[in-house]
Copies of this chain bind each other. A is one copy, B any other.
Amino acid sequence: MQTPLPRVLLGPGPSSISPKVQEALSRAPIGYLDPELFEITDRIRARLRTVFGTQNAFTIPLTGTGMAGMECCFANVIEPADKVLVGIHGFFGHRMAEITRRLGAEVITVEAEWGEVLEPAAIAKALDAAGKVKLVACVHAETSTGICQPLEEIAKLAREHGALFLVDTVTSLGGMPVEVDRLGIDISYSATQKCIGAPSGISPITVSERAWAVRQQRRAPVEWYFDWVLLKDYYDAPHTYHHTVPANLLYALDAALEEIEEEGLEDRWRRHVAVSTLLREQLKELGIKAFGRAEHRLPTLNAFYVPDAVDNEANVRARLLQDYGIEIGGGLGKLKGKIWRIGTMGSSATPRNVLLLSAALRTVLN
């Protein structure tokens, strides 16, 4: 087998990691009750609060990917027969609904076309019709469409109806403002391999006091591995054993969060906007049209229509990967074959990567 080119990761995640994060990954492991480990996890938890924009005490690096975070966050507050409103404007909204149904909830969905955003009026109407709803959930940055959901009005509606507000920030955290406390988000989960700049395998989650109280009042048992109470007993002193946390992934996450601190969170957000803008300009020159309304497009995940002249879009992606070691993503679900998804996230979000991709695309398309 020929040695493959190192990858330039411009897909929907994972994104590339920096040399500093690579070095941290390879440090010697440490025990799950070692005092030094808790210095690291305490620092990670403080830094995660900063990127989430929250004071929430229960903010932890969950062992598992972003999808583990999704399962964990729903499973702790949803009991069978609870009513849950899930706003769906892409693939990951459907996942939320699927997970919530499996937990035995009565799921009310409010759907927007893929590429559009959820309208607060539609959510208000559904809430009024539903009676007591325990939780309202939606995705902030839809990885399947590249669309950013405005959250302020939905947060207000959830609060007015006495419901918790849960938001997926997998593709926004670390790359754009999240503002958990200012917006009134009660529960959020993310992933480390996108805008945070670490490898996959950890899901940062944060939980408000209000959501914590709902967890404590529940009667039905929680899935053991994802139980917030057991996880809190491990991460807070006196640190009761729950599972063997992956020390190497925590080293890498700590290093990535330190890099965010060094860059400055607002400067990092601006970098994501600048690199995303450059990408759109470059692809526009190639005649490749952006998907979705301009005012809702994410700076972290950029969706483009596959050009009409392309017969087999998967071949284009395969050639980018084979000939140039560049990964971009195809469409998911109903957008399969119709769009390309190009991530400008974390360490991958550089002008150099954008120029390389546009040059490679120009070559492959000609």
Contact = CB atoms under 8 A, between A and B. Distances in A.
- Of A16, A23, A223, A224, chain B has the most CB atoms within 10 Å of the CB of A224
A39 interface: yes
A41 to B, nearest CB: 14
B241 A200 contact: no
A64 B203 CA distance: 11
B39 A98 contact: no
A95 B248 CA distance: 26
Chain A contact residues: helix, strand, loop or mixed: loop
B327 A34 contact: yes
A67 B7 contact: no
Contacts of A26: 22-23, 25-26
A242 B67 contact: yes
Contact of A28 (B17, B193, B248, B249): B17
B28 A16 contact: yes
A79 to B, nearest CB: 13
Interface string A178-204: 000000000000010100000111000
A113 to B, nearest CB: 22
A249 B201 contact: yes
A205 to B, nearest CB: 13
A32 to B, nearest CB: 7
A263 interface: no
B63 A64 contact: yes
A222 interface: yes
Interface string A306-338: 000000000000000100000100001000000
8 contacts: A13-B244, A14-B32, A22-B27, A75-B223, A95-B224, A98-B224, A102-B222, A248-B249
